[in-house]
Amino acid sequence: MNPCTFSRSLPVPLLFAISVAAVGDILASEPEVSYERIRSSNTEPGNWLTYSGQYNGHRHSSLSQINTGNVFQLKPAWVYQSREAGKIETSPLVIGDVMYITEKPHIVTALDTRTGRPLWCYRRPPAEGVPACCGPVNRGLAVLEDALYHLTFDAKLLALDLQSGRLRWEVSVADYRDGYSCTVAPLAVKDKIIVGISGGEFGIRGFLDAYDARTGERAWRFYTVPGPGDPAFGTYEGDSWMTGGAPTWVTGTFDPELNMLYWGTGNPSPDYNGDLRKGDNLYSCSLLALDPDTGKLRWHFQHTPHDTRDWASCQVPVLVDAQVDGVPRKLVVQANRNGFYYVHDRVTGAFVRGVPFIPQTWAKGLDAAGRPIPAPHSEPTPEGNLIYPGLSGATNWFSPSYDAANGLFYVQAQEEYGMYYYKMEAAYSPGRNFEAGGTRPVAGEEPFTIVKALDVTTGTLRWQFRMEGEARGGIVSTAGGLLFTGNAEGAFFALDAVTGKPLWHFQTGGQIWANPITYLSGGKQQVAIAAGQGIFVFELP
Amino acid sequence: MLIVLLQSGVAVCHGKSSDEREQSGAAALSASLQEGQTLYLAHCSACHGPGGEGGKGPTLALPSLPRAGTDEQLRRIIRGGISGSGMPRSELSSEKIARVADWVRHLGTRPVEKIPGDISSGRKLYQGRGGCVQCHTIDGIGKAIGPDLTDIGLRRSPDYLRMALLEPEADIPQTYSGYNRYLSLRENFLQVRLVTQDGRSFFGVRVNEDTFSIQIRDLENQIHSFYKAELTELHKDRGKSPMPSYRDAFTANEIDDLVAFLHSLIGRRTSR
């Protein structure tokens, strides 16, 4: 029996959770997940306590049971198949011997990592008619103390009991009828749950929120499109700021010592036609550093001013301590959708370096302050203008990883990927698509994906591994000298982290649009990835 | 007199009002058609040609369209695409789809070019001297090295078919596009040459591929599957085709006949 099985023909209570298995031993033995535990999650690599594994966004594990010498023996331990159709983008959490995943549309499931069997399942009927660009996907959960936090597609924040999945409270983040939706995994910081929003194609006014983890009361809201009175107000012509977009749809990172939260923002609205919102359009396509206690902005950097090609800066900002020109620096790095790899001082936001990590045609380069110097013919036209990279960008929401031991930053990138960008007129109407143009592909062109290992401070390419198909897979690297990733063709595989040589692969039979994780189950290292409609888990014999 | 003037004035006033209505109606129609044209050029012309003359997609500059007899059918096809063909679904609003459909109908008011050639002579060439069945299928008969031609008359314009016969490498048929890139099974007839570690050489078209393996169909219609680690050579001949040019093999009249035959292929009729 699967507790997630859901019959549409039966009357369904509005909200319910079912617990079917004898799970007491496993779940009860695990202590609560305090903020201090998440903060020092590098000391307990057997668990995966937050979206990127650690607050710093490294998605790197110190586990080495599976390593370059034995990875060829890796076998599936179990597969969990979702009962609902559609792709899974979840990045699981693991606490003790229990994995917590989200499934579309509004399902949270706890799985026994030893057997793959569901332990409990929370679900509610999907909201109908949520306006969103890309389907009711969800990228995962946050845990804090004895609760899990889940954002629903129709923009509600739920707190669930960690032991049972039963609903404690829910609050509305925004009204989905106005084009707001949620796909992001929340981030638990201290006593707050940080929540991003989606809807950049629907003329929302973007924000980042924090909620009291106990009560669900909203602690602060930072509008990513400033209103009157803000120093950055006026970078949208006229009233266009009111529908200015700049969503916050990928989980950010956090530096506990600096007490600074880092979060990327998405495209300005409407997409493609910048004539309708002249100006730089702050804080769209930017990296923000915020005080997590108050939501006050510490600094910002806009990668793509006045974006017209949907190049969100939503990619996970990775926090790196490394030397630049012989001087130890606290850095934040990001491989950006616009094709440039950026290095910043994460204390001040100062631009340190920016280099293209794929061939691109839109910018002649970056000036001394990091602002792009536009190339000719790099804007959408009514007929369409061929620009590289295409709509999905050089990379996208799926996570990179960083191995501090070898100083390499790993990212999936797309090359030979251009699109014709065209612009049209568009009028705003609440909850309706607000895209003033679009893209069309280059006939016959087959983009391909490359796993790139970049020197973390210079962006210099150290090695690359070419794949077929489109990039959609995140990366986890390990102290076993490995990195694991996969992509839309369904192959999940391991590369030698130092050389990029392929060491193991498995065809999952479904597209991989998710981030892998690794952890211990009963003391044994496992690697997990969502593929197609399931979760695939691998371990050594 | 006064009455006459008044009446006249009234008449003039009505007349002016009527003119205005007509003028604004004509202007609205023109603006609407213009929008349809802009949308068409952005979304449709790459496959159907800027004037609807066809190309990778069928000719649309026809008084009646085989798949879209009514305007509603035409709008439905634009909205939902055609499953299994290169025609994608559209994300445009209903209003914009209607504008595009209006423009497509407008293209159909242009004079139709007559296709020269004799269909039955073309069929004989296809089945006989042309050797087309060695690589193509019609109604499931033939070999699958090249594209199925059962409904090629609906999917390609006469000019495109002529080009394909004279210059097969001018455009390699493929289903890969941004619209259907998530299909795991590509049908893009990529010509592939490879050599295995034990020294065997293979030549054919790609059936499927992932990072670690590739599957090909050889010119005998046999499918082979390889792990790339088992290969010493793998060449993807992009822009190449195993199909020969018929420029020297056939006369101009015979090419016309073959084009006429291919253009007449509009799909299997389902028996009722």
Q: Is A451 on the interface with B (CB under 8 A)?
A: no
d(CA A492, nearest CA chain B) in Å: 10
> For residue B176, which residues of chain A lie inside 8 Å, CB to CB?
444, 446
pLDDT, greater one: B9 or B225: B225
pLDDT at A372: 98
- Percent of chain A whose predicted confidence (pLDDT) is above 90: 79
pLDDT(A30) > 70: no
Interchain proximity A444–B176, CB inside 8 Å: yes
> Which pLDDT value is given to residue B160?
87
Domain boundaries, chain B: 20-107, 119-172+244-263, 191-237
Alpha carbons A113 and A518: distance in angstroms, whole number: 11
Domain with residues B119-172+244-263, CATH architecture: Orthogonal Bundle (1.10)
Render pLDDT for A196-246 as a digit per residue (tens, 0 to 9): 999 999 999 999 999 999 999 999 999 999 999 998 899 999 999 999 999
- Compute the half-sphere exposure of residue A7: CA atoms within 13 Å on the CB side of its CA: 3
Does A53 contact chain B (CB < 8 Å)? no
Neighboring chain A residues of B209 at a CB cutoff of 8 Å = 468, 489
pLDDT of residue A267: 98
pLDDT higher than threshold 90 for residue B249: yes
What is the structure's pLDDT at A443? 63
Q: Note the pLDDT of residue B182.
A: 41
* A490–B182 C-beta distance less than 8 A: no
| Cis status, amide bond into A283, omega within 30 of 0 | yes
Instruction: Compute the distance between CA of residue A173 and CA of residue A196 in angstroms, rounded to an integer.
Output: 9
Section A173-177 average pLDDT: 96
Q: Are B152 and B265 in contact (CB under 8 A)?
A: yes
Catalytic annotation, residues of A = 310
* Inter-chain CB proximity B178 and A433 less than 8 Å: no
CB contact under 8 A, B176 and A467: no
Is residue A17 scored above 50 in pLDDT? no
Q: Which of A164-168, A512-516, B95-99 has the highest mean pLDDT?
A: A512-516
pLDDT, mean of residues A191-196: 98
Query: Cβ–Cβ of B176/A469 closer than 8 Å?
Result: no
A513: nearest CA partner in chain B: B182
Lowest mean pLDDT among A297-311, A375-389, B78-92: B78-92
Residues of chain A above pLDDT 70, percent = 93
Alpha-carbon distance A272 to nearest alpha carbon in chain B (angstroms): 13
| pLDDT surpassing 60 at residue B14 | no
pLDDT band at B32 (very low <50, low <70, confident <90, very high): confident
Is A418 a residue whose pLDDT tops 90? no
Least confident window among A220-229, A501-510, B49-58: B49-58
Q: Does A500 touch chain B (CB under 8 A)?
A: no
Q: Which residue of A has its CA nearest to B37?
A: A383
Distance of CA B132 to the CA centre of its chain: 20
**Closest approach of B97 to chain A, Cα-based (Å):** 14
To which H or E segment does residue A159 belong?
Answer: strand A156-161
User: CB of A200 within 8 A of CB of A245?
Assistant: yes
Residues B129-163: pLDDT tens digits? 999 999 998 988 888 888 889 888 887 888 889 99
Please enumerate in sequence order all residues whose Cβ is within 8 A of that of A256, keeping only pairs 6 or more positions apart, or say none.
A39, A55
Distance from CA of A388 to the nearest CA of B (A): 14
**Cβ contact (<8 Å) for A493 and B211?**
yes
Closest approach of chain B CAs to the CA of A146, in angstroms?
Answer: 39
Is B127's Cβ below 8 Å from some Cβ in A?
no
Q: What percent of chain B has pLDDT over 70?
A: 81
Lowest mean pLDDT among A6-15, A321-330, B92-101: A6-15
Q: Which of B90, B190, B211 to probe the A interface (max A CBs under 10 A)?
A: B211
CATH says B191-237 is which class? mainly beta
User: What is the rounded average pLDDT of the residues B65-71?
Assistant: 87
From chain A, the residues in CB contact with B47 under 8 A are 443
Is the predicted pLDDT of residue A424 greater than 90, yes or no?
A: no
Give the tens place of pLDDT for each residue, A441-459. 776 667 688 999 999 999 9
* Cβ contacts of A382 on chain B, cutoff 8 Å: 38, 41-42
Comparing CA positions, the residue from A256, A236, A271 lying closest to residue A319 is A256
Question: Residue A231 and residue A234: Cα distance in Å, rounded?
Answer: 8
Whether B163 and B170 have beta carbons less than 8 Å apart is answered as yes
Residue B124's φ and ψ, nearest 5 degrees, are -65, -40
Q: What is the pLDDT of residue A11?
A: 36
Which chain A positions have a beta carbon within 8 Å of B39's beta carbon? Answer: 424
Q: What's the rounded Cα separation, in Å, for the pair B151 and B137?
A: 10
**Cβ-defined contact of B210 to A419 (cutoff 8 Å):** no
- Report which residue type is found at A314: C
A443 min Cα distance to partner chain B (Å):
6
A to B CB pairs, distance under 8 Å: 71
Give the pLDDT confidence of A133-159 residue by residue, as tens digits. 888 899 999 999 999 999 999 999 999
Domain residue ranges in chain A? 16-424+444-539
Lateral strand order in the sheet of A476-478: A60-61, A476-478, A482-486, A491-496, A502-507
Interface test with B, best of A272, A446, A472 (most B CBs within 10 A): A446
Q: Which residues contact A325 (CB under 8 A, 6 or more apart)?
A: none
Does the beta carbon of B48 lie under 8 angstroms from any beta carbon of chain A? no
Topology annotation, domain B20-107: Cytochrome Bc1 Complex; Chain D, domain 2 (1.10.760)
Write down the residue that tokens 């409904």 correspond to. Answer: B151
Q: CB under 8 Å to A234, separation ≥6 — which residues?
A: A279
Residue the block writes with tokens 């266009």: A240
Cis peptide bond N-terminal to A268, omega within 30: no
pLDDT of A100 above 70? yes
Does residue B56 register a pLDDT over 50? yes
d(CA A152, CA A195): 11
Query: Where residue B18 falls among pLDDT bands split at 50, 70, 90?
Result: very low
* H/E run at residue B36: helix B2-43
**Chain B residue closest in CA terms to A451:** B211
Asked whether the beta carbons of B188 and B174 are under 8 A apart, the reply is: yes
Whether the pLDDT of residue A60 is over 50: the answer is yes
What's the pLDDT tens digit per position in A68-79? 999 999 999 999
* Helices B252-263/B119-127 angle, 10° precision: 100
pLDDT at A369: 97
Q: According to the model, what pLDDT value does residue A8 have? A: 38
Rounded mean pLDDT of A98-113?
A: 93
Residue showing tokens 């592939």: B192
The closest CB to that of B184, out of A438, A489, A505, belongs to: A489
A11 compared with A362, residue with greater pLDDT? A362
Given the cut 0.95, state whether the ipTM is greater than it.
no
Over residues A263-270, mean pLDDT: 98
* Residue B34 contacts A where some CB pair is shorter than 8 Å: no
Structure confidence at residue A10 (pLDDT): 35
Res. A13: pLDDT tops 60: no
User: What sign does the CA torsion over B229, B232, B238, B244 have?
Assistant: negative
- Mean pLDDT over residues A373-382, rounded? 93
CA separation for the pair A385, A419 (Å, rounded): 8
* Mean pLDDT within A102-125: 91
Name the residue among A94, A106, A194 with its Cα closest to residue A153. Answer: A106
Mind giving me the DSSP string for A442-483? PTT---EEEEEEEETTT--EEEEEEESS------EEETTTEE
Q: Tell me if domain B119-172+244-263 and domain B191-237 are identical in fold.
A: no
Question: Could A511 and B182 be called an inter-chain contact, meaning their C-beta atoms sit closer than 8 Å?
Answer: yes
For residue A520, the cross-strand partners are A525
Contact criterion met (CB below 8 Å) for B182 and A441: no
CATH topology of domain A16-424+444-539: Methanol Dehydrogenase; Chain A (2.140.10)
Rounded Cα–Cα distance for residues B122 and B129 (Å): 10
Q: Which residues of A396-430 are buried (b: 16+ CB within 10 A; e: fewer)?
A: bbbbbbbbeeebbbbbbbbbebbbbbbbbebebee
> pLDDT-based confidence at B184, cuts 50/70/90?
very low
Q: Do A443 and B211 touch (CB under 8 A)?
A: no
Sheet arrangement for strand A107-112: A16-19, A118-123, A107-112, A98-103, A93-95
Q: Average pLDDT of chain A?
A: 92
DSSP sequence for B52-78: S--SSSPP--SSSBTTBSSHHHHHHHH
pLDDT tens for B205-222 read 988 888 898 888 899 988
Q: Which helix (H) or strand (E) holds A415?
A: strand A408-415
The C-alpha atoms of residue A390 and residue A386 are separated, in whole angstroms, by 9
**Average confidence (pLDDT) over B232-259:** 94
Nearest beta carbon to residue B46 from set A382, A443, A491 = A443
**In the prediction, which pLDDT does A415 show?**
87
pLDDT confidence of residue A502: 97
